[in-house]
Amino acid sequence: MTDRLSTKLAARLRKRHRGEKLFRLGGLGAILLAVSFLATLLVSIGVSGYTAFQQTTILLQINLPVDPVNAGYPGLVKKSLREAFPSVSSRRNKKELYRLVSSGAAWEIRNYLTDHPDQAGKTVTVTVTASDDVDMLINGKVSRLDPPQVRRLSDQQVAWIDQIRASGNLKIGFNTNFFFNGDSREPELAGIAAAMAGSFFSLIICLGLAFPLGIMAAIYLEEFASKTRLTSLIEVNINNLAAVPSIVFGLLGLAIFLNFFELPRSAPLVGGMVLALMTLPTIIITGRASLKAVPPSIREAALAIGASKVQSVFHHVLPLALPGVLTGTIIGMARAVGETAPLLMIGMVAFIVDVPKSILEPATALPVQVFLWADAPERAFEERTAATIIVLLVFLMAMNLIAVILRRKFEVRW
């Protein structure tokens, strides 16, 4: 009798243990799978993007003009290349030769002359950007063993590149264009400066609007408002707003800010306002949650020694709730910095070369730059897309890190 019972019990125990083991294995498997997806994503972005941080440049001997205005800079570049390779004579070959340097080289020489006016009329060595095809060959994105139509360089061009390299006039350096230029249709000249400036201005506007408004709303709803039907209706609606797809906020921005208030299209001001609308519910919700987490004894103690309601909130409750509020705000901002959809509607998805200097000048944002370059036919944009994603990820990680540090430093546990 007892024997039968004990075998039954043992079987049930085994079954329960097995169940527990399976659950643990399943959980571990889920985490491993998620981590491996993340790792694949990061590694593939890293591998395709890191080469964009370096850029091939070519040193050219340029006879600088005396008159900087009517100098015909493209001609200077061509002349310098012809002098470096005097044996090239046919029109076709010359054209191939000119293709080795970027079409932006002419403007780089103009900029050099503007920076060094004393060099006018002299022959100097100027560093110019190599074309994207040359850059792809040098950084190994295309192989010299590929057939010419594949690597987009002829055998002759590859031979010239080798020659320039042997003479020490080919340099590989940090890609300053990528960080200091605006957008360009030439991959080797394209940069994220305009997008970074746009993202910066939009975020400042977004923070400046959403943070004070969100905190005020949260404090009022949590500390002052009486629980009526109206306040619970507002509460439900704020929760709903947090789940509204972001494109809807873009449409709202188009209808109200652009069409009604007639604010300029593509401006970071409008972008920031739209993003503020989007982050506001997040800030209010997290703000209320962290205010609620402050124990009532704090408020009661303040009131007991004669503080007014406002004093108790601003002197005692808010400082204690602030780490939580800040975490919520930063996470809201991190979401805003990665948003493209609402910006599409207000014209911030655009080709912008000039780096914006104010919140009213046309600008794009970092994720928009990713979106635009991912659609470009030139192969060299692939690595720049990945590099922009890396920059964006670094920003996001930094923001989340700040949120974690703030929480660690100021959080009070009850």
Q: Which long-range contacts (CB under 8 A, 24 or more apart) does 68-77 make?
A: 68/110, 68/113, 68/114, 68/117, 68/120, 71/110, 71/113, 73/106, 73/107, 73/109, 73/110, 74/103, 74/106, 76/106, 76/109, 77/101, 77/105, 77/106, 77/109, 77/128
Residue 160 as a binder of other proteins (CB under 8 A): the answer is no
Residue 293 as a binder of other proteins (CB under 8 A): the answer is no
Residue 377 as a binder of other proteins (CB under 8 A): the answer is yes
Query: Which C-beta is closer to other proteins: that of 172 or that of 307?
Result: 307
Return the residues of window 392-411 that contact other proteins according to CB under 8 A.
410
Nearest approach, Cβ of residue 166 and other proteins (Å): 27
Residue 162 as a binder of other proteins (CB under 8 A): the answer is no
Residue 347 as a binder of other proteins (CB under 8 A): the answer is yes
Residue 114 as a binder of other proteins (CB under 8 A): the answer is no
In which residue are the tokens 């070519």 written?
A: 58
Spatial distance between the Cα atoms of 383 and 24, rounded to a whole number of angstroms: 40
Stretch that binds other proteins, among 9-17, 26-34, 102-110, 388-396 (CB under 8 A): 102-110
HSE of 85 in the Cβ direction (CA atoms, 13 Å)?
Answer: 22
Neighbours of 167 (CB within 10 A): 10
Stretch that binds other proteins, among 28-36, 203-211, 219-227, 233-241 (CB under 8 A): 203-211
**129 phi/psi in degrees, rounded to 5:** -75, 135
Residue 358 as a binder of other proteins (CB under 8 A): the answer is yes
Considering just the CA atoms, what is the radius of gyration of the chain in Å?
Answer: 30
Residues that contact other proteins, how many (by CB under 8 A): 55
Helix (H) or strand (E) holding 1, with range, is none
Residue in 61, 92, 99, 91 with CA at minimum distance from that of residue 79: 61
Q: Where are the beta strands (DSSP E) in 64-158?
A: 123-129
Query: Which C-beta is closer to other proteins: that of 29 or that of 245?
Result: 245
Nearest approach, Cβ of residue 357 and other proteins (Å): 6
Residue 175: C-alpha distances to residues 172, 191, 387 (Å)? 9, 9, 11
Name the residue type at position 386: A
Residue 208 as a binder of other proteins (CB under 8 A): the answer is yes
Query: Which C-beta is closer to other proteins: that of 231 or that of 311?
Result: 311
DSSP 130: B
Q: Where are the beta strands (DSSP E) in 130-208?
A: 170-174
Residue 195 as a binder of other proteins (CB under 8 A): the answer is no
Residue 154 as a binder of other proteins (CB under 8 A): the answer is no
Stretch that binds other proteins, among 23-31, 204-212, 224-232, 238-246 (CB under 8 A): 204-212
Q: At what angle do helices 366-374 and 380-410 cross, to 10 degrees?
A: 150
Spatial distance between the Cα atoms of 276 and 278, rounded to a whole number of angstroms: 5
In this chain, which of 2, 90, 114, 149 binds other proteins, going by CB under 8 A? 149
Return the residues of window 309-338 that contact other proteins according to CB under 8 A.
314, 318-319, 322, 326
Spatial distance between the Cα atoms of 63 and 66, rounded to a whole number of angstroms: 9
Stretch that binds other proteins, among 24-32, 143-151, 222-230, 392-400 (CB under 8 A): 143-151
Neighbours of 302 (CB within 10 A): 18
Residue 144 as a binder of other proteins (CB under 8 A): the answer is no
Spatial distance between the Cα atoms of 158 and 148, rounded to a whole number of angstroms: 9
Residue 171 as a binder of other proteins (CB under 8 A): the answer is no
Residue 376 as a binder of other proteins (CB under 8 A): the answer is yes
Query: Which C-beta is closer to other proteins: that of 318 or that of 366?
Result: 318
Query: Which C-beta is closer to other proteins: that of 225 or that of 350?
Result: 350
Return the residues of window 33-92 that contact other proteins according to CB under 8 A.
none
Residue 288 as a binder of other proteins (CB under 8 A): the answer is no
Spatial distance between the Cα atoms of 290 and 182, rounded to a whole number of angstroms: 41
Query: Which C-beta is closer to other proteins: that of 20 or that of 146?
Result: 146
Nearest approach, Cβ of residue 347 and other proteins (Å): 6
Counting every residue, how long is the chain? Answer: 414
Q: Which residues of the shown chain bind other proteins in the complex (CB under 8 A)?
A: 95, 103-104, 107, 142, 146-147, 149-152, 182-186, 201, 204-205, 207-208, 211-212, 258, 262, 264-266, 269, 314, 318-319, 322, 326, 347, 349-354, 357-360, 362, 372, 374-379, 382, 410
